[in-house]
């Protein structure tokens, strides 16, 4: 039989103070809904249904065809949200796990464990619970004198004594799918809130079926994210988990509390990550590389034995044995060849450099394709924009570009070319040529006084 998952992601998230739907808000530069969906995909679950509502197009764009969607037009509570999936799941044989889209710390291990527990105990409904020292805001688990779960009481409906209970409802349920919607249809609207509480299925199903509670051993896993403060707490837990995993796998992280590594980042062994470094997106860092300090890498591939320090690398790729930085900026599909030196205050945008190329300082390489062993002198620029359109510069192998040179695109520079410092090149240069494009210097004797103002005595 199949395992199904319903992810509740229709909420607006008013307390987040953002125009984004709550579950699309990023944690470590990744929308929180993606964490839960990725972990469900890795688990024993076969099919995912996502309940969307406020600005649903954001969630649909993020998740694409990885899930099936149902729409909750009115926000009438969690029971009503689950009911929206009835047409897709009703009476199908199997087990359904219900999760909240704002719980990014729930991982594959938790999902598989609670489903396994549910099946081993032959439960009809299993409620996942946890114990919080400060359970304010969470529904409380009410147990009878034998320790069995009786019902769930929402925080606002708790008596004074019930508010002292530390065992809370996490919002995760595992239920026999053939029974789910019979129970959902029996939920009555809460007169005070005007909502259908999913928590009511405990009392409804307990009359005729086996209802149990699974007390989760790792309570931080099920913390909900409701505001920017809890975002910071979730980030802290994720950061610690991710850094620990990489260090165990052979990555040296110096001062790990200052290092942020995204959930989808792949780092091979024998890599050193220095302080104040951020590596996010679908980035890959390969063996022998040294990253940081004070470096940001997003959605980029760093090959073997590369050093990147005090630099920004976005949507780019750096090949073996290259040195990036300090204070370099790679972006928009920059591809840096092997044994390159991209140094101080050099920006490379949407360009490919060949092996052995050097731009040591104060250069801009934009919309260019360069060959091997090209030297960009200080202040060299590929002038790629004419005010309307971008144009490409193509540079051959073994080219020396003197300091303060402007290469005005569209332009082709052949192999083994030498360009004199201070040139503004507007025409193609054939192979083996020496190019100089600057006006003849004129010195006018005793003429500078006409441009120098006398000092103000005041």
Catalytic residues: 361
> Which residue in the block uniquely carries the two structure tokens 């889209």?
101
DSSP per residue over 351-376, as a string?
-EE-TT-EEEEEEEEESEEE-SS-EE
> Which residue in the block uniquely carries the two structure tokens 């919002």?
171
Q: What are the beta bridge partners of residue 68?
A: 49
Check if the beta carbon of residue 435 is closer than 8 Å to that of residue 429.
yes
d(CA 155, CA 429): 76
> Which residue in the block uniquely carries the two structure tokens 């998740």?
63
> Which residue in the block uniquely carries the two structure tokens 């790729």?
317
Check if the beta carbon of residue 229 is closer than 8 Å to that of residue 143.
no
> Which residue in the block uniquely carries the two structure tokens 């044995």?
321
At 202, list the tokens: 């405990």
CA-based angle 120:124:129, to the nearest 5? 80
8-44 as b/e: b if 16+ CB within 10 A: bbbbebeebeeebbbbbbebbbbbbbbbbbbbbeebb
Q: What is the CA radius of gyration of the chain?
A: 30
The total number of residues shown for the chain amounts to 458
Read off the DSSP letter of residue 390: B
d(CA 81, CA 83): 5
Q: What are the beta bridge partners of residue 256?
A: none
Helices (H), 52-121: 56-63, 78-83, 86-89, 108-120
């Amino acid at each position: 039989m199949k395992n199904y998952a319903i992810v509740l992601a229709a909420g607006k998230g008013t307390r987040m103070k953002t125009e984004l739907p709550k579950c699309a808000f990023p944690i470590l530069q990744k929308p929180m809904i993606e964490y839960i969906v990725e972990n469900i995909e890795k688990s024993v679950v076969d099919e995912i249904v996502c309940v969307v509502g406020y600005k649903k197009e954001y969630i649909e764009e993020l998740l694409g065809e990885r899930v099936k969607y149902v729409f909750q037009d009115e926000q009438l509570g969690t029971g009503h949200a689950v009911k929206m999936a009835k047409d897709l799941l009703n009476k199908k044989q199997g087990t359904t796990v219900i999760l909240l889209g704002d719980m990014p710390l729930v991982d594959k291990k938790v999902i598989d464990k609670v489903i396994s527990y549910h099946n081993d105990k032959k439960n009809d409904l299993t409620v996942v619970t946890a114990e919080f020292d400060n359970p304010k805001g969470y529904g409380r688990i009410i147990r009878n004198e034998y320790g069995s779960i009786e019902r769930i009481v929402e925080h606002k409906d708790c008596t004074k004594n019930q508010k002292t209970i530390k065992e809370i409802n996490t919002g995760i349920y595992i239920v026999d799918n053939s029974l789910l919607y019979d129970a959902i249809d029996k939920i009555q609207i809460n007169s005070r809130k005007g909502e259908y509480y999913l928590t009511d299925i405990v009392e409804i199903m307990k009359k005729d079926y086996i209802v149990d509670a699974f007390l989760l051993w790792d309570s931080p896993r099920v913390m909900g994210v409701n505001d920017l403060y809890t975002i910071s707490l979730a980030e802290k837990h994720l950061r610690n988990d991710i850094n620990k995993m990489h260090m165990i796998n052979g990555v040296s992280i110096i001062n790990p509390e200052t290092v942020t590594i995204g959930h989808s980042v792949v780092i091979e062994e024998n890599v050193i990550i220095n302080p104040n470094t951020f590596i996010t997106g679908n980035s890959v860092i390969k063996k022998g590389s040294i990253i940081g300090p004070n470096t940001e890498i997003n959605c980029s591939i760093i090959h073997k034995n590369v050093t990147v320090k005090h630099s920004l690398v976005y949507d780019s790729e750096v090949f073996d044995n290259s040195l990036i930085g300090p204070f370099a900026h790679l972006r928009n599909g920059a591809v840096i060849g092997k044994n390159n030196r991209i140094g101080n205050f050099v920006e490379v945008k949407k360009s490919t450099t060949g092996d052995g190329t050097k731009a040591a300082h104060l250069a801009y390489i934009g919309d260019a394709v360069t060959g091997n062993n090209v030297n960009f002198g200080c202040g060299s620029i590929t002038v790629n924009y004419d005010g309307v359109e971008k144009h490409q510069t193509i540079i051959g192998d073994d080219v020396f570009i003197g300091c303060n040179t402007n290469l005005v695109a569209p332009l082709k520079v052949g192999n083994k070319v030498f360009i004199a410092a201070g040139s503004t090149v507007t025409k193609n240069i054939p192979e083996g040529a020496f190019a100089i494009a600057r006006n003849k210097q004129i010195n006018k004797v005793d003429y500078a006084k006409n441009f120098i103002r006398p000092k103000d005595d005041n």
